[in-house]
Structures are given as C-alpha cells and as structure tokens.
Chain A
C-alpha cells in the first residue's frame, strides 16, 4: 500500500538520523580513551576509573530498559550486581575460576531472582512496586552479610580475576577494559534491538496505557516480567565485571544506596534512550571522583581551613548538585543535548 511507503520511513529515519551520532561519539570516546590513558602518566588509574564507568553504564542501561521503557521503578536493582559479584566470588572460592562457567551461572541466578521477585512485585503498582523491590534488594543484602564463609559483612578478596577458557585473559587492566567495552557495546546493541522489537513495543505500549494494551489483547504483566528478568541478567553481567574489576566482593555491592545511585544515573542521563544511562553513569562517577578536587580549586579564595572543610564534606555539595541538575535539566543530559527520548 503506497501511503505506508510514503509516510512511514521518511518520518522515522529523519528522526533517527538526527540523534544517532551521540552513541557513536560515546562509544568512540571509550575506544580512544585507552590511547590517552597511556599518555596521561596515570594509566592504571584512568583505565580503572573508566572501566568502572562502563560497568555501571551496563547496570544503569539495564535499569533504563525497565525504568525508561517500562516505567518500572525498581529500587532493588543493585541486588543483581550483587548476584553477579557473588556468583564470581563464591564459585572462585570453590575453585571454579572460569568466566565461562561463572557468567552463565550469574545470568541464570539473576534470571531466577528476577522471575521470583518480579512475579511478586509486578502485581503491585507505583510506590508499592518501589517498596517491594527495595525490600527484596534488602533481603539479598542481609543474606550476603550473613554468609560468614564468604566474608560476611566485610566481603572477601578474590585470589585473582576470572579465567577465560582456562587462560588468564582478564589479568591486565587493558584486557579487562576491552572486555568491559565489548560487554557494554553488546548490551547496548541488544537493548536497542529489544526496544524496537515486537516485544519492546508491547513494553513501551504498556508504559503508556496498560488498559489500552489489555483491550487489544496483551497481558502487560508477562512482558514486564520478561523485561525485568532480562534487565536483571544484564545487571548480573555488570556484577561479574565489577567483581573482577575490584577483585573483591562485599554486601556493599547491593546496598539500597547503590540501587538509588543507579536510578540517579538513569535520570541524570535522561530516561529512555539507553546511551543516556551510560552518560549518566559516567557523569555520576566522574563527578563523584573529581568533585573534591574541583571544590579545592573553586575554594581558592577561602581560608585554608574552610577550603579543607569544603573538600572534606564534598558529599554535601554532591547531593544538592545532582538534584539541581535533574531539576533544571529536565530530560537529563540527553535532554540538554536535544536528543530524542522516547
């Protein structure tokens, strides 16, 4: 039918072409960063910081999949980071050090946790959903603190990073960086595809008007549950990477504050664009890292005593600053850049 050929593709591609340079620049920056890191004189530090950014980028993006496209405000998403981390740590403690086993186990455990907790939480809406996901997250947190043989409260140091097919491929910081990059890119491409697919369209439709979706024959619950599981698996993968990056696991992986930070990253970046969540994670972590130094510089006119106190209490500035950014830049960083969010 000709009207389709005439109206559709024009409107769609026109819209897309305008913004698609953003992810290209973003991923391009991650590709080029190691080159600059080599010249920076603090290679290890830069690499490990950016590796963390990418890992949290994966976690924030996974949250964006359900929060931005499904309006499901999960306040327990850090639990999946913990599941991924503990899968690596616990298996390694029992001599299973290969990522080819650890990662599938982590993904399966995340899917299972997502299935059980999602099936319960998704029966509630709004603030109840937030509270119940928070409760499940806390449950897992307390479970981790009680695992005395795996470090309990204090957590446990990994003897080494995971092997890949028996080889110590993740040993170097560069190697880990590139593995995280590939995971980030892979997760992004997969999430992009999901969002545009039939499944993603049902998820997006359910966000806008669940009753309408039921009236055309969809049961939003089923789609939301599967999305919740997929999102959890992606965050579980991030947990595996985080354990390897830190070479350490602890219940701190899954505190409710961590879940809150993930939500913040997504909102900061701009809901519902996926790469926005990565930008949000980057902005959050870099600000957290450099704010003390920025404050030190900005405080040059103050007495040294005041300056020191300002730097020491940088978190007092960090919180309000984040809130101001979110308040004044509606749509987050993506909104400021004029990107499409959908």
Chain B
C-alpha cells in the first residue's frame, strides 16, 4: 500500500474528566471515501476538529501526506489541502453565495494584501467559485445573500466552500444534517461525483448514504474506534450492531 494520505496516531483529547477522543488510530488512503459513524456524542465532531486543527489534541499525531501537522493551526492546514465543513452551518450570512465561495478561492490565489480594485468583480475568483456552485447545484442562487438561503442550500454552500479551497482531503461533518430528501439526494450525487477525485472523510448519520458511498467505514463509540472495515463487513459486524446500528433500530 502507498503512504496513506491521512493518518491518525493514538490521538487523544479530553474535556476535563470527559475523554472524548480515546487513542484513535486511523489511516485513509488517497482517493478513499472513508465514513465515520457513531452514536450522538461519540466524539465525531471533536475528531474532525482535531484533524482540521480547530481543536488541539492532548497527545497523538495527525499526519497529512506523511507530514506531521499536529502543531499547525487550522488556516495553515487548509493551505496544505486539508479542508473541512461544519456540522453547524458556518457561512458568511451577509455575503452572497458567490462571494462566500469566491473568498475561499481568494485564499489560495495570490496575496490578499491588495488594497485596490473591487474583489467581487475579479473574474479569476468568480469563475472558479461559480464552477463550485454549479457543482453542488447552487449556480442559480449565486447572487443571494447566504443568510437568506434555505437550510438545505446552506448545506450545499458549505460543501461548495470546502471544494473551492481545492482540498486533497475534505472532512465533511454531517453534510446531510437537517436537509430534506431532495437536497440530500443532491449532496449524495455531488459526493458520488467527487469520489475518487479527492479523499473524503465523511461523518454521517444517514446510513443509506454512508453504505452506498463509502469505501470503508469506521465506527466510533465513546471516543474509541471499535471497527474499521468495508461497508458490508460493518453491516454484518455484531459488535457494531449492538453498539450502534441496533441502537438505532430499537
């Protein structure tokens, strides 16, 4: 096997006495779509925070492209190609949908210490941004202030912003959360199209989406990974069923 694109080595984090990430080891290969599932409060979001650099880790390592990025702040990790989306929508509500995405394009194209010229008219920023919006199906809503988009559209915008940073690895924290059937279908379609082109770590409660998209699935319970396997094997795994899938059925 090649060097993994993303590797977690014995990652730990506690909030006071509550151990939220308890010695997580994980490797994700380039181009893989790796889903992480687990019950509410298992520590999935915290894990994404640690991988992306929003939260620090108490111990352990995050290796990205073979490089130790554990000490880097989030904004530097993004520039290396490690981007993320948020479970709770995090956008710039007064900026248009296009400007939200164009700002992400701006972050990776040249200096932002430019004080002259209207940034919102720069075709070099708007065109790639528009492509990302079209990819997630928001092209027609480009001029709308992001705060006025529907919940489902905001989730799509999150995805477009993440893509606009041109990530090698995209960490998605419940991109389908709270979306209606149609919006969810659209996001799943987008992910299917991205699959193989970039590495994706997908956190999701929607099991249909997870089992249809993922190359491999990891199960996180109380901060521990109890299994990592193919979707079929995970579905059949007794321990997983009792810890998580059974719980859902009950």
Q: Is the CB of A217 within 8 A of B90?
A: no
Contacts of A10 in B (CB 8 A): 143
Bin chain A's interface residue count: 20 to 34
Q: Could you tell me which residues of chain B, from 106 to 124, have a CB within 8 Å of some CB in chain A?
A: 106-108, 111-123
Q: Is the CB of A201 within 8 A of B120?
A: yes
Contacts of B121 in A (CB 8 A): 8-9
Q: Is the CB of A197 within 8 A of B118?
A: yes
Q: A322 within 8 Å of B by Cβ? A: no
Q: Is the CB of B140 within 8 A of A342?
A: no
Contact with B along A187-216 (1 / 0, CB 8 A): 000000110111111101100110111111
Contacts of A196 in B (CB 8 A): 117-120
Contact with B along A10-39 (1 / 0, CB 8 A): 111000000000000000000000000000
Contact with A along B79-117 (1 / 0, CB 8 A): 100011010001111111011000110111001111111
With A11-B96, A201-B103, A212-B91 known to touch, is A194 a contact of B115 (CB < 8 Å)?
A: yes
Q: Is the CB of B119 within 8 A of A4?
A: no
Closest chain A residue to B133, Cβ basis: A3
Q: Is the CB of B98 within 8 A of A209?
A: no
Point out the residue from A3, A12, A200 that lies within 8 Å of B140, measured CB to CB. A3
Point out the residue from B73, B76, B103, B142 that lies within 8 Å of A216, measured CB to CB. B103
What is the count of residue pairs linking A and B with beta-carbon distances less than 8 angstroms? 125
Q: Is the CB of B112 within 8 A of A199?
A: yes
With A197-B115, A198-B114 known to touch, is A8 a contact of B74 (CB < 8 Å)?
A: no
Q: Is the CB of A205 within 8 A of B112?
A: no
The CB with the most chain B CB atoms within 10 A, among A4, A216, A217, is that of: A216
CA distance A198 to B112 in the complex (A): 5
Q: A149 within 8 Å of B by Cβ? A: no
Q: How far is the CB of B170 from chain A (nearest CB, A)?
A: 11
CA distance A10 to B121 in the complex (A): 12
Q: B78 within 8 Å of A by Cβ? A: yes
Apart from the given pairs A205-B103, A218-B112, 15 other A-B contacts in the complex at a CB distance below 8 Å = A4-B98, A4-B123, A4-B142, A199-B113, A202-B112, A205-B92, A209-B92, A211-B90, A213-B103, A214-B54, A215-B90, A216-B104, A217-B78, A218-B75, A223-B112
